[in-house]
Structure 1
Amino acid sequence: MAAFVLAAAGVVASAAFTGALAEREALDPGALARWVLPIAVTVHHLALAVVVGCLLFATTLLPPRRAGARDRGDRQGTREAHPAFTRVMTAASAVSVLWAISAVIVLVFTYADLSGQPVSGSEAFARELAYFVTDLVVGQAWATVVVIAFVVSTLTFLIRSPAGLGATAGLAAAATIPISLVGHAAGSDDHYAGVGALVVHWLGVLLWVGGVAALTIIAPTLTPSRPGDTGAEGRLSQTVLERFSAMAGVAFFLVLASGVVNSAMRLGSWEGLVTAYGQLVLLKAAGTVLLGAIGLAHRRWAIGRLGTVPADRTAWRLILAELGIMAGIIGVTGALGRTAPPVPQELKPAITPAEVLTGYLLPPELTWVQWFTEWRWDWIWVALALTAAVVYLLGARRARTWPWPRTASWLAGLGLLLYVTCAAPTIYGMVLFSAHTLMLLALAVLVPLLLALGAPLDLVSRTVARRTDGSRGPREWLDAARPALAAPARSAAILAVSLGLLYYTPLFRLVLDYWIAHQLANLYFLTVGFCFMASVLGPFGDHPVPRPVRVRTAAVLAGTLLVWAVVLATGVLPVLEPDWFVGMARTWGPPVTLDQQLAGISVLTAGFAPMAFLLTALVLSRPPRPEADTSPPAPSDVAA
C-alpha cells in the first residue's frame, strides 16, 4: 500500500515538474482527466508488476506445501499449503482486481485525454468511447489490456496448479505487448524496433519490480534462518532470496540496456538530456543504478549473513527500500508517458506501397552484398540471444569439463538466430516469398539443429540440482517437459503440419500483416523445431527413444521437405498472397511467380540440407553409451 502511495506521489510531482498537469489551450479534457489519468496509469503499471511477480514466485520460487505438516481435514494426509504460497496468491488475487479496475479507468480517461472531452455519462460520450475502443489503435490496445486483466484476475482465484499458474503469469506478462504498441518509443522512425525495446524493458521491470514486491508480501511468513537451524523451513528465507537474486540480476541488465535504447530513440541527441523530459530520464536512470547497487549488496553481503538477527533485519530493510525506490521510479515513468519527448513521436504517413504494407520503405535490390549488410535490430531477439548465451556460458563454466564443440555449436546457433531475425532473411522475407521460406525454415530446422547440438538440456542436468522443498525450478520444469522432448515422431508431425497450415491458410496473411503474429510464429517454429531436434539427437531421459525410430523420423521429415521443395520449384501450386507480394510494387528481382518457384531452393537450403546432414550423422554414428546422472548434490537447495 505504501508503494502505491509513493508511486502516485512520484507521478504527480514529476508531472507537475514537466507541466503535464497544466491546463491546455485547446482540447483540454478538464482537471479531473489531467490528474486522474497519470495516477491511474501509474497504479496500473505497479499493479501489473505485482501480479506478475506474485505469480512468478508461486510458480517457480516458493514451495506450494509446507514440509512435514499435514492438513487436518485431508484424509489422504496431503501437506497443507505453505503460508508464503497462500499469502502470495492472496495478494495476486487482490491486486489483480486493482489492476483490472485501473485498466478500465485508464481506457476511459485516455479517450477523454485524446479527444479533449471531459468524462461524462452522456450517450454521446459512450458512443464515441465505443468507437475509440473498436476502431482506433490506442483504444484497441487498452481494451485488450482490460480483457487480459479481467481474465487473469479470474484465474488467480481459480487456479493453483504450477502449469496453470505459469500460463496465467505468461498471459499477464502478455499485456506488455499492447502497452508497448502505443508507447512513446513505438512512435520512432523504426516503429517495430521501438516496440521490441519497450517489450524487453517491460519484461525486465515485471521480473524485477514484481519480484521485490512479492518478497515484501511474503516476508512475514518466511522463517529467518538462525545459527544451527538446518531444517528446510529455517533455510527457506535464504533460499528464496538467493533464487530471486539470480533472476533479478538478469532483469536489471534487461531494464538498463533496453532503457538506454528507448531513451536514445526518444531523446535523439545529447541535447535532449537538458529538457524536462531528459531530466526525468536521468532521474530514472540514477534510481535504476541505485537499485542495482542495493541488489549487489544483497547478493554479496546481506544474503550470506542471514544467520544473525542484524543481518536478517538489514536484508528485509534493503528489500523495503528497493520497493520504495521502484515505486518512485514507476511514478516518474508515468509522468514520462504524459510528457512530450524531444524527438516527435508521431508516425509519418506511409506514402509508398511497401510502407503501407510493411511499415518500412522497400529495401534495395537483393544482391550478395545485401545478404550481409542489411540489418534491422529486433531487440526482443537480441535480448533473448544474449541472455541465452550468458546463461549457457555460466553453466559451462560451472560444469568445468563441458566439451567446447558443444559451446561453439550453441553460440553459432544463437548467432544464426540473430542473423535470421535481424538481417536480410527477415527484411526481405516481407518482400519475397523465397526469402520468407528461407527465414522460417532456418528458424524451424537449421537454428534448432545447432542449438540442440549444444546439448543445453544435458548442461542443465549436470549443473542444476533438483529441489527438495516442492517448488519447481529448471530441473523440475525440464522433467515436466520430458514427454515433449522424447517424442520425435510427434514433433516432426507437428512441424510438418504447422508449415502447411501457415503457408496454405489465412494464417500466412495474418503473419504478414501483424508484427505480433510474425513474432509468435517465429517463436513457435523455433520451439517446435528445437523439441524435434532434441528428441532426435537423444538419448534424453530414463527411457531414450530407440535409434531406429529416430532415424526413420528424420528420414520422413527430410523426405517431406524434399517433396515440398520440388512441388514449389515446379510451380504447380497457386501463387500465395498475390495481393501482398504484387502490391509491394517491387521494381527489382524476379516476378512473383518465379520468386515462389525459387522458394523451392530456399526449402532445400534451410530445410532439407540440415535434415540430410542430421540423417547422415544418425546413420553413421555409433549408439551412445548411457550416461549416469551427474546432478550436483543439493545440500542447501540453492543451486536451482
Structure 2
Amino acid sequence: MIGEVTLMNSATPGRPVMSGRWQSLVWLLATLAVSVAAVIASAAFSGAAAEREALDPGAFVRWALPIALTVHHLVLGVVVGCLIFAATLVPSKGTDTAEEDSAAHPAFTRVRTVAVAASFVWLGSVVVVTVLTYANLVGQPVSGSAAFLSQLTYFLTDLIVGQAWGAITVIAFFVCNLAFFFRSTTGLACTALLALTAIVPISLIGHAAGSDDHYAGVGALAVHWLGVLVWVGGVAALAVTIPVLATMGTTLVTKSVIARFSALAGVAFFLVLGSGVINAALRLGEWDGLLSRYGQLIVIKFSATLLLGAIGFTHRRWSITQVGSRSGTLLAWRLVIVEVLIMGAVIGVTAALGRTAPPVPLELEPAITPAEVLTGYPVPPSLTWYRWLSEWRWDWLCLAFILTAAAVYLLGVRRTRITGERWPRKRTVSWFTGIVLLVYVTCGAPTIYGMVLISAHTVMLLAIAVLIPLLLAFGSPLDLLRLGVPRRTDGSRGPREWIEARTPIVSSVVRNPLFSGAVLVLSLTLLYYTSLLRLSLEFWIAHQVTNLYFLIIGFWFMATVMRTRVKPRTRLRQILTIAGVAGIFLLWANMLAFGVSPVLEVDWFSSLDRTWGPAIAVDQQHAGTAVLLIGVAPLAVVLARFISYKSSSTSTGATDTSRSLPDAFL
C-alpha cells in the first residue's frame, strides 16, 4: 500500500524514517509554513501590509491577502506539477507492459491524489483571495452584509480585476472536478492544460501588465508564470513521487523520472530567469530602482532563482547517478526537499511583491488617441518599404514559444548525430528559416501594421497559416522526434507516445489531406467574414490564440499534403487538395482585389484615425495582392514540386523517398 512505503535512514540502516505518505505531507506543510513566513517578512520589510491613510481595510485584510495569495500560488503550482507528472513523467500502469487491465502505478496514484487534494485547496484559496482583494480595493473590512455582497457581485462582473479572479475561480472549479473524475493520462493532460490557462487572467492583472508596453508586459508575465508553475509544481511533485519509487526498488524508473523532469525543469528555469529580468526591467525603470524596497526583493528573488538553478544542475549531473543505493536515493530526495523549501520562500516573496508598490507606478498614461483606446498603442508611422524591416514590438510570449521550439529542434538534431543517424541539412535550414520568419511576422511590421491595415493583417495571417507551416513541415520535426526520442517501456507517455496515440478513426481523419484543407479554408473564411476578426483585433489573448491556431492548422495541412509514402489514391487527393485550396485562395484574392468582397471590419479600421496610407477599400484591394503572394504562390510552388516529384519517381521507379519531400511522420 502507498501509505506504508518508507525511506530508509542511511545513518541507521534498516530503520525507517517515516511513512512515505506522511513524509511527503509533512514536507509540503513545512514548505507552506516557510512560504507564509517569507511573505510575512517580505510584506513587513516592503511596507505592503502597512496601514493606509485612506480607505484602510483593516489589519486582517492587509495581512491575510498576501498570505492567501501565497497559498494560492503554491497550491496552483502543486496542481499543475502533479498533473504534468501523471500525464507525462510517471508510469500510469503497475506493470512494464502497461496492459489496459493492469492496476495503476503507485506513483501515478500518489501524484493524482495530491493533485485532487491540492485542486480543492486551490479553489478555496481563490475564493478567499477574491473576497480579500475586493475588500482591499474598496478599503472595507470583510463582512456578510447585503451591501458588501452586492458590491462584491459588481466587482466580479464589471471590474477587470474582479473578472480575472472570477475566471480563475471558474477554472479552479472545473479543474478540481475533472482531476477527481479523470483517471486516464489523456484526461489528466487536458486538466493540466486547463489549469495552466489560469496564467492568462493572473498575467492580465500583474504588475508588469501595468507598464507602458502593456501587451509586452502581459506576455512576459505569462511566460514567467508558465515557467514558475511547471518548475515549482514539478519539484513538489518530485518530492511526492521519490518516496514511492524508492521503496518499490525500481531504480531505473526512478532515474528516468528524475532525468525527464530535469530536462523539463531546465527549460522552465530559463523561461523564469529570462522573463523575470524583462518583468523587473519594466517595473524598476532605471538602475536606481534596485535600491528601493521593491528592487531589493527582486534581487533576493533573482539570487534564489540562481541558487535553485544550481541545485537543479547538481541533480542532473550528480545525484541522478547516485539513485539506487539507500544513501543516494535519500540524498536525492533531500536535495528535492531543499528545492521545495527555497521555492516556497520565493513564492512568499513573489506574493509580497504583488502587494508592493514598484518604482515605476502602475498608473498608465490615459489613452488620448482612438488608436490607443482600441489597440493600446498609437498609430505607427507611415508604412514604407524600410519600415517593413525597421518596426519591431517584442511579443515575449511568442518569442519564448519560438525560441523553445528552436532549441528543442537543435537538441533533436544533436541527438540523432550522437545515435549515428544522418539528418539532412536542408531540413534544418528549412526549419530555422520558418522560425526566423515566425519571429519577424509575430514581432515585426506585419503584426504592428496588421492592427491598422487589413492588407498587413492578411500578410501576417497567411504567412502564419501557409508560408511558415510550409517551411516548418519541410523541416520534418515529427520525423526528427521519431529518430531522436526512443519509445518508453515503463508505461508512461512521452512526446512520441502522445503523437502516436491515435485510434484508427482519428488517424484516418488526421492523415486525410481533403479534411485538413477544408478545415484551413473554413477557418480563414470564418475568421474574416464573422465577428471573430474583430475579436482577434481587439483582445490580446484572442490574437495569440488565433495565431497559434492557424500555425497548428497550417502545419497539419502542409504535413498531410506533403506525405510521400502514400497510396496512389491518397496522392491524387493530395494534388486535388493543393489545387483546390490554391484555387479558393485565388478566388478570394480576386474578390478582394476587384471589390466584390464586402469591406472587412470597416468600423474598426475607420475608427483608428489613420492619416496616412490608402483608403480602407483600396487597402482591402491590396489585401488581394497579399493573398496571391503569400497564399497562392507558395501552394503553386508546392503543387509544381509535387507533380515533378511524382513524375520523376514514376519514371525512374524510385522507392527511396527520404531524399525528397518529408513524410512529416503522419
For the aligned pair, the TM-score class normalised by the smaller chain equals over 0.9
Task: Please list, as runs of the form range in 1=range in 2, the aligned pairs for 1:601-616 lying within 5 A after superposition.
Answer: 601-616=625-640
Deviating above 4 A after TM superposition, structure 1's stretches of 4 or more consecutive aligned residues are 481-485, 542-545
Give the drift of 1:162: 2.2
Residue 353 of structure 2 corresponds to which residue in structure 1?
336
2:97–2:490 Cα contact (<8 Å) kept? no
- Deviation at 1:221? 1.1
- Of stretches 350-359 and 614-623 in structure 1, the one that deviates more from structure 2 is 614-623
| 1:581 partnered with 2:602 | no
Secondary structure of the structure 2 residue equivalent to 1:365: coil
1:459 to 2:483 alignment = no
Once the two structures are TM-superposed, the CA of residue 69 in structure 1 deviates from its matched residue by 9.6
Q: Is the 8 A contact 1:61 1:472 kept in 2?
A: yes
Query: Cα distance 1:468–1:544, how it changes in 2: closer, same or farther (>3 A)?
Result: farther
User: What residue in structure 1 maps to residue 581 of structure 2?
Assistant: 557
Residue 545 (structure 1) shift: 8.0
Shift of 1:82: 0.7
Task: Give the equivalent residue in structure 2 for 1:489.
Answer: 514
- Counterpart of 1:104, as a letter, is V
- Structure 1's 433 and 234: CA in aligned 2 closer, same or farther, altered over 3 A? same
Q: Quick one: structure 1 residues 282 and 483, their matched pair in 2 at CA, closer, same or farther if it must change by over 3 Å? A: farther
Distance 1:31 1:483, change over 3 A: farther
The corresponding residue for 1:424 is 445
Which residue is 1:595 aligned to? 619
| 2:320 counterpart letter in structure 1 | I
Task: State the partner residue of 1:188.
Answer: 211
Inter-partner Cα distance in structure 2 for 1:310 and 1:198: 40
Does 2:557 match 1:529?
no
**Mapped contact 1:492–1:557 kept (Cα < 8 A):** yes
Amino acid across the alignment from 1:190: D
CA–CA distance in structure 1, aligned partners of residues 126 and 366 of structure 2: 29
The offset of 1:68, in angstroms, is: 5.9
* C-alpha contact (below 8 Å) 1:538/1:545 kept by paired residues: no
Secondary structure of the residue aligned to 2:360 is coil
Alpha-carbon distance in 2 for matches of 1:213, 1:299: 17
Q: CA deviation at 1:509?
A: 1.2
Amino acid at match of 2:53: E
CA distance in structure 2 between the aligned counterparts of 1:161 and 1:560, rounded to whole angstroms: 42
Match of 2:170 among 124, 143, 147: 147
Q: How many residues align?
A: 616
Deviations 1:594-635 (A, max 9, x none): 11111101111111111111111111114574679xxxxxxx
User: What is the CA-CA distance between 1:552 and the residue it aligns to?
Assistant: 1.4
Match of 1:131 among 124, 149, 154: 154
Superposed displacement of residue 548, structure 1: 2.1
1:374 aligns with 2:391: yes
TM-score (ref. length: structure 2): 0.90
* Aligned equivalents of 1:217, 1:545: Cα separation in 2: 52
Asked if 1:50 is matched to 2:78, the reply is: yes
Measured against aligned partners, the alpha-carbon deviations of 1:550-570 in whole angstroms (never above 9, x if no partner) come to 111111111111111111111
SS in 2 for 1:546: helix
* Offset of residue 579 of structure 1: 1.1
Q: Which of 181, 191, 200 does residue 168 from structure 1 map onto?
A: 191
2:570 is equivalent to residue 546 of structure 1: yes
Question: In the alignment, residue 560 of structure 2 is paired with which amino acid?
Answer: S
Q: Calculate the aligned-residue CA RMSD, in Å.
A: 1.7
Cα separation, 1, equivalents of 2:71 and 2:482: 41
What's the counterpart of residue 235 of structure 1? 252
Of 260, 272, 275, 2:289 maps to: 272
Q: Partner of 1:636 in structure 2?
A: none
Mapped contact 1:225–1:307 kept (Cα < 8 A)? no
CA–CA separation in structure 1 for the residues paired with 2:347 and 2:509: 40
Task: State the match for 1:82 in structure 2.
Answer: 105
Q: Secondary structure at the match of 1:497?
A: helix
Deviation at 1:544, TM superposition (A): 10
| Partner residue, 1:620 | 644
Number of the residue aligned with 1:17: 45
Check conservation: 1:558, 1:611, Cα contact below 8 A. Answer: yes
Within 5 Å, give how 1:60-99 maps onto structure 2.
Answer: 60-67=88-95, 78-99=101-122
The residue aligned with 2:339 is 322
CA shift in 2, pair 1:238/1:568, >3 Å: same
1:356 maps to what in 2?
A: 373
Matched, 1:498 2:526: no
Bigger shift: residues 334-343 or 503-512 = 503-512
Gaps of 5+ in 2: 1-28, 659-666
Show the counterpart of 1:638. Answer: none
Contact 1:224 1:234 in 2 (8 A): no
Contact 1:223 1:236 (C-alpha < 8 Å) held by counterparts: no
SS at match of 2:530: coil
Contact 2:207–2:283 under 8 Å retained in 1: yes
- What is the deviation of 1:197? 0.2
Question: 2:126 matched to 1:103?
Answer: yes
Give 3-state SS (helix, strand or coil) of 1:120's partner. Answer: coil
Q: Residue 37 of structure 1 corresponds to which residue in structure 2?
A: 65
Q: How far 1:528 sits from its partner (Å)?
A: 0.3
> Normalized against structure 1, the TM-score is what?
0.94
What does residue range 376-415 of structure 1 map to in structure 2 within 5 Å?
376-400=393-417, 401-415=422-436
Alpha-carbon separation, structure 1, partners of 2:556 and 2:97? 39
In the other structure, the counterpart of 1:449 is: 470
List runs of 5+ in structure 1 lacking aligned partners. 71-75, 227-232, 629-640
Compared with structure 1, are the counterparts of its residues 160 and 225 closer, same or farther at alpha carbon in structure 2 (3 Å cutoff)? closer
**Counterpart-to-counterpart distance in 2, 1:104 and 1:402:** 53
Residues 1:473 and 2:494 are matched in the alignment? yes
